A and B are shown apart, each in its own frame.
Chain A
């Protein structure tokens, strides 16, 4: 290896896959270059990446600077500039920019396509990736400014593939595995994710928003893609009819013939399955009971938390009248504390081409946020600043107790003049006829 790495070497042992070992094999592969690749960035880029990381381990802090504005022509996002603050020691990573590559929904791949990505990235970049970044993109870590347009050209011309979002724009939407391989999914997360990504390409590539904006698509209230915690608009699958029950299979669970929760607890002895203790008593609305040998559910009282379905997936199934619940305004803590998504649309059907979602939810909210949002103000912060009523006003949804945790405990209602009979214009002289000074 080009650099001594006594600290990083200690991360090669232990069972969990070692990123250090992986980086070292990549550095060796490039040095040997058995394929005869005409590397377009320094051959020893990965050696220098390991070297600068070792230096950070020694110094206890980073050696990367924020880049200037780099990108591809006509786009304001998709590339993040990155420069090393020790370029003489590590010339291979002096310029080391990131590209975000818009992942296919559901993160399914063919090996043919993955190899095409690898070929491009070995040739014009470092060969180091994230599979995947936090938002969901394929991340290409490390290339030079001159290669950015070349990569974009090859990606669009040969791979039929576009970049993802960064900066104050629509970030690359992402989804859970959904109906592709999950019996809980209440709508086609992949299709909605793909269609909205295509519909809003301009918003994704050309920053025109006050700050970042995220869509995430969870097929059911288990929320495997964490939309409720981090998406400005969170689409969570749900249903409004009855949970389907197969009573014979309920008996099979009760008789111990089928492991509860798909066997997710089987490495510990929790005793025999107890439907009363594990399902009925844990139901948050207490809307279930046993009637003799029959499991009963008062579906009207069910809040679809998924617990009973998770525990007995072969006996209980999601309803047939399916759609989404849409929540708005989630974000990580910076600045004024973290926000969960707040429920805006209790139920909406999800049907291609998804016009109702686009026209009644997304676009009115964007119009409001783009008009009123301050620089670097997320939707959730604007909602806090201007109030939930304003969100209702711009979207036109009727107020509904399903939107709140509880009613307000202060009576300080900002009544509007038109809500008060006779309005606010009064004659003080008329008043004085009845009331002396």
Chain B
């Protein structure tokens, strides 16, 4: 493994430096049928789940074949996508905002051979490489974060629970049988890089133990004022601590009853780790949406306060999500999103229909907005 220089000279970093050029321009990557008909599309129609056609004013058609995929993707897999796109799509391919891969072709006769090829490709363990689906009134890919694969504050894994949940919900990925589309998202800690807080069903990693304090190393490894400032609830204070050997060191103390388990202190200070096998697990939230269709966008609500991490396949999480999806499938009206259904039938009925336990953790007690979630009417259902 000999070092090969790119041409960069570390002694003269500014020599020939190119900066601030931004991304490649979008239109150099458009397939010709897109470039020609941009802004002139008339309508779209699903041929089957995962396959749809857009028709332009010119009469041109573009068929999109949508495939699920792990957002974690190796160059081997991307090169296989390229091979397919070269063979069927004149070297063009795109991704959706929810990590699906879309192959676009400009004629109906080009669709079936592509579908046949995509459906024939499997990984060595037997899973599909390119399952077709994820459109319409069904469940598309789960957007998610890094989890144990690459993050320092996760309370659960991301890719593993996503794989387990999508395996279970696969029938909904490949059908249009729900009342409306149902968006599932996962964020592996409450900082929510994935912004899952407006999803029909959100899977959220959560810690439940305050940080441990590595007093001996605190002042050596951390800027203590930064760790204090990082705490959103002001739970961390400077403290002088006597080590077992009698030496007094500068450290911090944590007001544990104020800890909200976000891990921001650990981000600033490696001497404050909080992850824990028993403490960490999953919160389920439900009923959010981002679309303005019919009703305004909504936040997801916490409906299950805690499920332990159960690697490798998170069976309780998977089962609980299925209960919600099936209750929604049976109970909601056509076009009604999960949150709209819950609001129509009432949350008391939602817990009953989904067979979920209602515990005190689900009543908001975090600051002022909590009051607005308590019931201020005599109207309720028995």
- Known A-B contacts A15-B167, A261-B136; the reply to A104 vs B24 at CB < 8 A is yes
What distance in Å separates the Cβ of B122 from its nearest Cβ neighbour in chain A?
A: 9
Q: Which A residues, 72 to 113, have Cβ-Cβ distances below 8 Å to chain B? A: 73-75, 82, 96, 98, 102-113
* Cβ proximity bits B24-41 to A, threshold 8 Å, 1 near / 0 not: 111111110010001101
Task: Pick from B107-115, B149-157, B250-258, B320-328 the stretch touching chain A.
Answer: B149-157
CA distance A161 to B197 in the complex (A): 32
Residue of chain A at shortest CB distance from B370:
A337
CA distance A12 to B71 in the complex (A): 16
| Chain B residues within 8 Å of A62, by CB | 147-148, 151-154, 275
Say yes or no for B243: interface residue by CB 8 A criterion.
no
- Known A-B contacts A13-B126, A221-B293, A332-B192; the reply to A314 vs B8 at CB < 8 A is no
Say yes or no for B70: interface residue by CB 8 A criterion.
yes
| Chain A residues within 8 Å of B78, by CB | 114, 117-118, 129, 131
What bracket does the count of chain A residues touching chain B fall in? 35 or more
Which residue of the partner chain, among B42, B99, B190, contacts A132 with CB atoms under 8 Å? B99
Q: Which B residues, 288 to 308, have Cβ-Cβ distances below 8 Å to chain A? A: 288, 290-295, 297, 299
Say yes or no for B376: interface residue by CB 8 A criterion.
no
Q: Which B residues, 98 to 141, have Cβ-Cβ distances below 8 Å to chain A? A: 99, 101, 104, 123-131, 135-137
- Known A-B contacts A114-B82, A131-B99; the reply to A22 vs B76 at CB < 8 A is yes
What bracket does the count of chain B residues touching chain A fall in? 35 or more
Residue of chain B at shortest CB distance from A68:
B270
* Cβ proximity bits B254-288 to A, threshold 8 Å, 1 near / 0 not: 00000000101011001000011110100000001
Say yes or no for B75: interface residue by CB 8 A criterion.
yes
| Chain A residues within 8 Å of B92, by CB | 108-111
Residue of chain B at shortest CB distance from A119:
B75
Residue of chain A at shortest CB distance from B278:
A60
Does the CB pair A15–B75 fall under 8 Å? no
Supply 20 A–B pairs (Cβ within 8 Å), ascending by A: A12-B124, A16-B127, A16-B173, A17-B130, A18-B70, A25-B76, A25-B123, A25-B124, A102-B22, A129-B72, A150-B6, A154-B7, A181-B64, A182-B44, A194-B23, A264-B176, A266-B136, A267-B49, A313-B43, A332-B192
Which residue of the partner chain, among A64, A154, A162, A226, contacts B6 with CB atoms under 8 Å? A154
Residue of chain B at shortest CB distance from A80:
B150
* Cβ proximity bits A170-182 to B, threshold 8 Å, 1 near / 0 not: 0010101101111
Does the CB pair B123–A11 fall under 8 Å? no
What distance in Å separates the Cβ of A6 from its nearest Cβ neighbour in chain B?
A: 9
* Cβ proximity bits A14-37 to B, threshold 8 Å, 1 near / 0 not: 111111111111100100000000
| Chain B residues within 8 Å of A278, by CB | 334-335
What distance in Å separates the Cβ of A388 from its nearest Cβ neighbour in chain B?
A: 16
Say yes or no for B62: interface residue by CB 8 A criterion.
yes
CA distance A376 to B229 in the complex (A): 10
Does the CB pair B76–A29 fall under 8 Å? yes
- Known A-B contacts A111-B82, A181-B34; the reply to A11 vs B163 at CB < 8 A is yes
What distance in Å separates the Cβ of B51 from its nearest Cβ neighbour in chain A?
A: 10
| Chain B residues within 8 Å of A262, by CB | 43-46, 52, 136
Does the CB pair B43–A105 fall under 8 Å? no
- Known A-B contacts A156-B18, A261-B136; the reply to A111 vs B127 at CB < 8 A is no
Residue of chain A at shortest CB distance from B131:
A15
- Known A-B contacts A56-B157, A336-B367; the reply to A264 vs B137 at CB < 8 A is yes
Which residue of the partner chain, among A17, A198, A205, A332, contacts B195 with CB atoms under 8 Å? A332
